[in-house]
Amino acid sequence: MDFKTVYSGLSSKVEEALLAYFDDSIDIVEPLKSAMRYSVLIGGKRLRPVLTLSANKLLDGDSDEVMPIACAMEMIHTYSLIHDDLPAMDDDDLRRGKPTNHKVFGEGMAVLAGDGLYSYAFEIMLRNSKKYPQNINGHLNSISQMANGAGVNGMVGGQCMDLSCEDNEDAGKEELAFIHKNKTGALITSALLAGLYVCNPTKEQIHAVSQYGHDVGLAFQIVDDILDIVGDQEKLGKPIGSDEKSKKLTYPSLYGMEASRRKVEELYHSACEHISIFGNKSDFLKELAAVMSKRDS
Amino acid sequence: MDFKTVYSGLSSKVEEALLAYFDDSIDIVEPLKSAMRYSVLIGGKRLRPVLTLSANKLLDGDSDEVMPIACAMEMIHTYSLIHDDLPAMDDDDLRRGKPTNHKVFGEGMAVLAGDGLYSYAFEIMLRNSKKYPQNINGHLNSISQMANGAGVNGMVGGQCMDLSCEDNEDAGKEELAFIHKNKTGALITSALLAGLYVCNPTKEQIHAVSQYGHDVGLAFQIVDDILDIVGDQEKLGKPIGSDEKSKKLTYPSLYGMEASRRKVEELYHSACEHISIFGNKSDFLKELAAVMSKRDS
């Protein structure tokens, strides 16, 4: 099967599983449920849950066992986008071509929709872990990885630095490296490791997947920065040029466009090398690294 | 020992443990760390962590084992206050007599400080659980209880209803019951149960503590509503009359002051009755119920 077919097969399964977490049988008070559902089901590439499922497959994991973790991952990602789009943060009106959460539900409800998704993600993972008492340590490691990646030494820490740098003209390469590593990278690496941990991996396997995560995470972020300069607004579903307008710290603004493209290429090769220890089971993640480095949306 | 001595002994231990989570050895990026610490260490009665420790003591639990859970509880409570105080929510400038988080650190950082505390709470509990592999189920139940109590069918759900009712003139007793049960009650009950679960309680014990939590949680909230009308601004550390000004749904506004006081008295007696199955080990929680029902701040 070719890459696209496999990817869309995985992301469809994620889509279906996500839908079930918001169907009519789920009792969550309105308009909280609608606000949470709106942002989760608005679409997107489902990259992070696909990473969770694919890392799990490296060690022949059970996709039923890991699917709730993959969905929780997407909910955590969505919560971070909702809070990031708030007027007090990035103040974005559009996300994936649609009005952002606070534009539809109001700021207060958007804060709660984010909070709710984060809680719901942990509830889902914890409930799931109880179904696998024989593998409780695998699940605990997976849930812990998620908490770390989303937390103060991960995503939230990165968002803090990002916010601080908006008004800091002295911010430079060190701050940008911190933002890339934490704001986006930590969650991408955690998405992979959360899927892997369920299979109780060796230290060597954890290291390989962490490195792959670091490389594709950084490449992903640099490509994001590049696309904000040369991307196609329609394909991206959001306006371009916003980084320059807000004087945001980006890889191209600090290192130039050519060096940025070269870095992406290097990271792609490094990612593939790290993941090679899994033999041909790593083919999908290698192709995914290629696609992430060459994407135009 | 008298009640006050025991209470202040417990809350001092909580204070000390909370401090350690923000000391110099803890690596969290600034100003996130300062923003999180500011609201956690600003004071307060530490009621919820004291409930966690006391419920744990009902079954002779180990206070070292449960202390991280008690601290996580206080962090979750603090996160909810920070988000609740935001301009888009309750828009409060003062909390415990001090400027609210967003007044000091800005709105964006206050959102992140709340997000960070919530993450940190789970990280702390998960890390702690790994120290007790022989009691992993007790810890998992405790962490799950916390996630449920703070989540969409608990605190966040209650906050959603509270926010929706601000603009809804038809909101009445049903909505208020939902808010009381979820916004405050769920976390108070979870604070107790999270402490109890570590000791692997029986169903009967879980039921008794749940009922006690329901009763003191509701009494606590009604007293809060009463104090907003007849309380002493200085003792409370916040302006009174804010509920009436914002036309907030409260117990006294719907049932009258006398019925409200009577309800608190009833709940106090019911709480004590439920917890009696623990014999004289329940003395402290009974006295705590009395104090919570008769408090003036």
Q: What letter would DSSP give residue B99? A: E
Tokens of B126: 């998960």
Q: Name the residue in chain B with its Cα closest to that of A119.
A: B151
Which pairs count as long-range contacts for B11-19, CB under 8 Å and 24+ apart, including other chains? Answer: B11/B45, B11/B46, B11/B49, B11/B50, B13/B53, B13/B63, B13/B67, B14/B46, B14/B49, B14/B50, B14/B53, B14/B67, B14/B70, B14/B71, B14/B74, B15/B46, B17/B67, B17/B68, B17/B70, B17/B71, B18/B71, B18/B74
**Would you state the pLDDT for residue B18?**
98
Set of chain A residues whose Cβ sits within 8 Å of the Cβ of B124: none
**Would you state the pLDDT for residue B237?**
67
Please identify among residues 132-191 of chain B the ones whose CB lies closer than 8 Å to any CB of chain A: 133, 136-137, 140, 143-144, 147-148, 150-153, 156-157, 159-161, 163-164, 178, 182
User: Can you spell out the DSSP letters for A90-135?
Assistant: T--SEETTEE-HHHHH-HHHHHHHHHHHHHHHHHHHHHHHTT-GGG
Mean pLDDT over all residues of chain B?
93
Give the Cα separation of A283 and A265 in Å (integer). Answer: 18
- Residue ranges in chain A whose pLDDT is less than 50: none
Interchain CB distance below 8 Å, A144 and B136: no
Cβ burial A277-297 (10 Å sphere, 16+ → b, else e)? ebeeebebbbbbbebbbebee
Interchain CB distance below 8 Å, B109 and A29: no
Interchain CB distance below 8 Å, A123 and B88: no
Q: Could you give the ipTM of this predicted complex?
A: 0.94
Exposed (0-12), middle (13-18) or buried (19+): which is B129, by Cβ within 10 Å?
buried
* Best of A100, A101, A156 to mutate (most B CBs within 10 Å, chain B): A156
Interchain CB distance below 8 Å, B112 and A33: no
The residues pairing with A120 across neighbouring beta strands, listed in sequence order, are: none
* Best of B25, B29, B148 to mutate (most A CBs within 10 Å, chain A): B29
- The amino acid present at B251, given as its one-letter code, is Y
* Best of A27, A89, A111 to mutate (most B CBs within 10 Å, chain B): A111
Query: Rounded to 5 degrees, what angle do the CA atoms B75, A103, B31 make?
Result: 35
Lowest mean pLDDT among B7-21, B165-179, B234-248: B234-248
Q: Give the tens place of pLDDT for each residue, A203-248.
A: 999 999 999 999 999 999 999 889 988 877 777 766 677 777 777 7
pLDDT at B223 over 90: yes
Residue pair A255/A244 in contact by the 8 Å Cβ criterion: no
Tokens of A172: 């430079």
- Contact status of A114 with chain B (Cβ, < 8 Å): yes
Interchain CB distance below 8 Å, A29 and B88: no
Candidates A127, A140, A77, A86; CA nearest to A108 is A86
Candidates A7, A5, A1; CA nearest to A288 is A7
Q: If DSSP codes are grouped into helix, strand and coil, which group holds residue A14? A: helix
Chains A, B: CB contacts within 8 A come to 156
- Contact status of A104 with chain B (Cβ, < 8 Å): no
Set of chain A residues whose Cβ sits within 8 Å of the Cβ of B108: 86, 88-89, 163
Query: Nearest by CB to B120, which of A143, A152, A182?
Result: A152
pLDDT at B46 over 70: yes
Set of chain B residues whose Cβ sits within 8 Å of the Cβ of A153: 27-28
Give the Cα separation of B208 and A184 in Å (integer). Answer: 45
Strands B94-95 and A94-95: unpaired
Please identify among residues 4-43 of chain B the ones whose CB lies closer than 8 Å to any CB of chain A: 27-29, 31-33, 36
* Best of B26, B75, B102, B119 to mutate (most A CBs within 10 Å, chain A): B119
Q: What is the pTM of this model?
A: 0.94
* Best of A21, A26, A29, A127 to mutate (most B CBs within 10 Å, chain B): A29
Tokens of A173: 């390469």
Q: Give the tens place of pLDDT for each residue, A146-186.
A: 999 999 999 999 999 999 988 778 888 999 999 999 998 99
Query: Nearest by CB to B119, which of A136, A156, A161?
Result: A156
Please identify among residues 39-78 of chain B the ones whose CB lies closer than 8 Å to any CB of chain A: none
The residues pairing with A94 across neighbouring beta strands, listed in sequence order, are: A99
- Contact status of A123 with chain B (Cβ, < 8 Å): yes
Output the CA torsion sign for A68, A84, B35, B163.
negative
Exposed (0-12), middle (13-18) or buried (19+): which is B144, by Cβ within 10 Å?
buried
What dihedral angle (degrees, nearest 10) is formed by the CA atoms of A191, A196, A200, A206? -90
Interchain CB distance below 8 Å, A150 and B119: yes
Q: Name the residue in chain A with its Cα closest to that of B178.
A: A29
Neighbouring CB atoms inside 10 A of B5's CB total 9
Q: Give the pLDDT band (50/70/90) at residue B243.
A: confident
Lowest mean pLDDT among A62-76, A181-195, B162-176, B279-293: B162-176
Q: Give the tens place of pLDDT for each residue, B104-142.
A: 999 999 999 999 999 999 999 999 999 999 999 999 999
**Would you state the pLDDT for residue A196?**
98
Interchain CB distance below 8 Å, A160 and B86: no
Query: Nearest by CB to B111, which of A89, A119, A153?
Result: A89
**Would you state the pLDDT for residue B42?**
92
Q: What secondary structure, in 3-state letters, does B45-97 show?
A: CCHHHHHHHHHHHHCCCCHHHHHHHHHHHHHHHHHHHHHHHCCCCCCCCEECC
Distance from CA of B29 to the nearest CA of A (A): 6
